[in-house]
Amino acid sequence: MKAEVFLPDDYRPAEDEPFMNDRQLEYFRRKLLTWKADILEDSRDTIEGMKDGTRNIPDIADRASEETDRALELRTRDRQRKLVSKIDAALRRIEEGEYGYCEITGEPISLKRLDARPIATMSLEAQERHERREKVHRDD
């Protein structure tokens, strides 16, 4: 088991330190765990709200509006469920020592990109190439 890494509250990964050193890895690990906890808490709140919100609404327009709201909420939760699996995959990459490196090129992913999107698996350039190829194939 690894020793716990001290991380000041105001720590931000910097370009002038070794890439994916213990402090950076701990910073991203904590960021991912906090994000996951927030998503799971929102999901619990949604479930509780849906349990409490089940009621018989006589007006058909009001009932349709509530059902539309529920469908939208469930779609949002489904997206977040998929996001949780991406967060879990990123946490696994941290444990395996693969986090922060592009899965296509093997090059480091910029710290700014990882800070903005900690589940990123590709460098910005590789992601843009991937999206261009996807767009070309989608137009066929």
Token pair of 39 as six digits = 């998503």
The pLDDT score that the predictor gives to residue 2 is 59
Cα(9)–Cα(131) distance, integer angstroms: 36
Please, what's the b/e burial string for 38-51 (b: 16 or more CB within 10 A of its CB; e: otherwise)?
Answer: ebeeeeeebeeeee
Task: Determine, yes or no, domain membership for 3.
Answer: no
Residues 53 and 122 in one domain: no
Whether 87 is in a domain gets the answer yes
Q: Does 68 reside within a domain?
A: yes
Residue 12 within a domain:
no
Q: Are residues 31 and 85 in the same domain?
A: yes
User: Is residue 42 located within the same domain as residue 64?
Assistant: yes
Find the farthest-apart pair of alpha carbons in the chain and give their distance in angstroms, rounded.
Answer: 64
pLDDT at 1: 46
* 1 within domain boundaries: no
Tell me, yes or no, whether 88 and 25 share the same domain: yes
Q: Which domain covers residue 121, as residue numbers?
A: 102-139
**Cβ(5)–Cβ(22) below 8 Å:** yes
Per-residue confidence in pLDDT tens, the chain, 140 aa:
456 788 888 999 999 999 999 999 999 999 999 999 999 998 887 777 776 655 677 778 877 887 888 888 888 888 888 999 999 999 999 999 999 999 999 999 999 999 999 999 999 999 999 999 888 876 55
pLDDT at 136: 81
CATH at 73: 1.20.120.910
